[in-house]
Structure 1
């Protein structure tokens, strides 16, 4: 029993050091001395027979064994916390910290409103949001949730569908007035188009109509890896852009942009809320997951993701 108790404290010390990146910060969080925390981590490494942390003068780096063991330490800690919540009279009071990552454009369009709505209901929960076009490693980087499309799904993640992202072709009225009439997808090859350099195949556009697919390779003098920049370029009359409908909905509504080849469609792409598989999901994570799924099912949001 003493060994189990000792191992639990060692595991919690290790997890806190790994997550904070510092023995000093971990000691402060655990209300223990730095020497005590260091001793616990060293004892854990000795007991396991592996090095969990590489210590340099500037930073701490998890070894491969450390990354693996950290996930189990988190599960241990989360299971204990979940058990305490289950028998607590304040179970409904969600607290703690959630880490979430999402594509920049999706976050700009939806997540501020959603997270403020959630925190209004659960003010003691802190949410750390990372917006990036770079795919994060949820387990390795310690994220609880991510927004992903099928391009970026891993088999070890659980995915909850939130809706469909539909791309549309748009341009400014002034730009189209300067071009010959566009009647078919093949006509796109002869006009300036805006390319998204984040996707390797973005110059290959595939449109559909009446069950028939129409592929065209486009080109243009302007390219960027940010949807907002491409939208601004389209509004400025630089060329035709292929963008998610939620990105251009307002500009279409007020006439700054108009649809191009509206009789043709681009196959939609599902968007998911994803999270790592865990034997015991923390209560706060379950509450957040259910809230996000319900929030995007609201007709106002579903209209942009359907």
Structure 2
């Protein structure tokens, strides 16, 4: 059996978490996928997958092999494209993970023109507000918003993402408009739990940089949920601008403290440091950077 075929089968099973799904992805039978993986494990004299009747997961050796196997397969596929004189037309799959709210709206808007320009590229977008292990789960790219935590991943900043402090007219009429950020301690603040220090809201004016500790009766791990509660008049929110932009324009929300600078989140594309970036992934990252900076 061809070594590359066995590596492709291993890679597909690792990405799909299923021999059956891997067979459908490769266009071969489940039995042949299993045969390829068994052949690879036999050649390496090690077990790459833990198999049960309900699930398939990588062993520790399988995770290490995946990190090295995937860039080899990708480089071979890219070399095939060059040999076949198809280098000018991007082709192949790209697996992306992104936050649910941003991914289902702004990211899909950014992806649409890229897909139209490159019809032979297959985008597989998985939305989740939980942290995803890129290598273990077979993703090419993660799109993230916020202050990045310590990580071995390589980050390319796509754009700045300012935070907006806001509240509904009804809330301000009932509770009063806070005159400055320090007054937030007397208000019900709606807390987005995604930032590391979720209840420490940072502000800056001139040379003065300070933090206000806030508290409130509603916490959530999705900024869209925070914005909806603010629209309902339940408190003061701090959200990325993209979440509340339309509500500010319509008057459902009013921005507070516009004379102060708030913490500035970033929009990032993340990928593993040892990953060989194919032409299609590099082109997508460049496209996203251009789209969001102009936006």
Same fold at TM > 0.5: yes
User: Shift of the alpha carbon at 1:146?
Assistant: 0.9
- Partners of 2:182 and 2:216 in 1: how far apart? 15
- Partners of 1:107 and 1:27 in 2: how far apart? 28
Deviation readout 1:204-249 (Å, 9 max, x if unpaired): 2222212212322222223322211211211221111111112111
Counterpart in 1 of 2:118? 122
The SS at the match of 1:141 is coil
Is there any run of 5+ residues in structure 2 with no aligned partner, and where? none
User: Shift of the alpha carbon at 1:153?
Assistant: 4.8
Counterpart in 2 of 1:233? 229
Counterpart in 2 of 1:252? 248
The SS at the match of 1:71 is helix
Change (3 A) 1:33 1:61: same
Which of 265, 278, 284 is residue 280 of structure 2 equivalent to?
A: 284
* Total equivalences in the alignment: 295
Q: Is the 8 A contact 1:81 1:282 kept in 2?
A: no
User: Shift of the alpha carbon at 1:126?
Assistant: 1.5
Counterpart in 2 of 1:95? 91
- Partners of 1:113 and 1:33 in 2: how far apart? 36
Are positions 1:81 and 2:77 aligned together? yes
Is there any run of 5+ residues in structure 1 with no aligned partner, and where? 302-306
Counterpart in 2 of 1:304? none
The SS at the match of 2:218 is strand
Q: Is the 8 A contact 1:146 1:275 kept in 2?
A: yes
The SS at the match of 2:216 is strand
- Partners of 1:34 and 1:182 in 2: how far apart? 63
Change (3 A) 1:70 1:214: closer
Q: Is the 8 A contact 2:145 2:265 kept in 1?
A: yes
User: Shift of the alpha carbon at 1:27?
Assistant: 4.7
User: Shift of the alpha carbon at 1:169?
Assistant: 0.9
Change (3 A) 1:88 1:154: farther
- Partners of 1:127 and 1:18 in 2: how far apart? 18
User: Shift of the alpha carbon at 1:134?
Assistant: 0.7
Counterpart in 1 of 2:143? 147
- Partners of 1:112 and 1:272 in 2: how far apart? 15
The SS at the match of 2:175 is coil
Which of 142, 161, 164 is residue 165 of structure 1 equivalent to?
A: 161
Q: Is the 8 A contact 1:192 1:221 kept in 2?
A: yes
Counterpart in 1 of 2:180? 184
TM-score, normalising length: structure 1? 0.86
Counterpart in 2 of 1:224? 220
User: Shift of the alpha carbon at 1:72?
Assistant: 2.2
The SS at the match of 2:284 is helix
Are positions 1:174 and 2:167 aligned together? no
Deviation readout 1:179-214 (Å, 9 max, x if unpaired): 344222221111222122344632222222122123
TM-score, normalising length: structure 2? 0.89
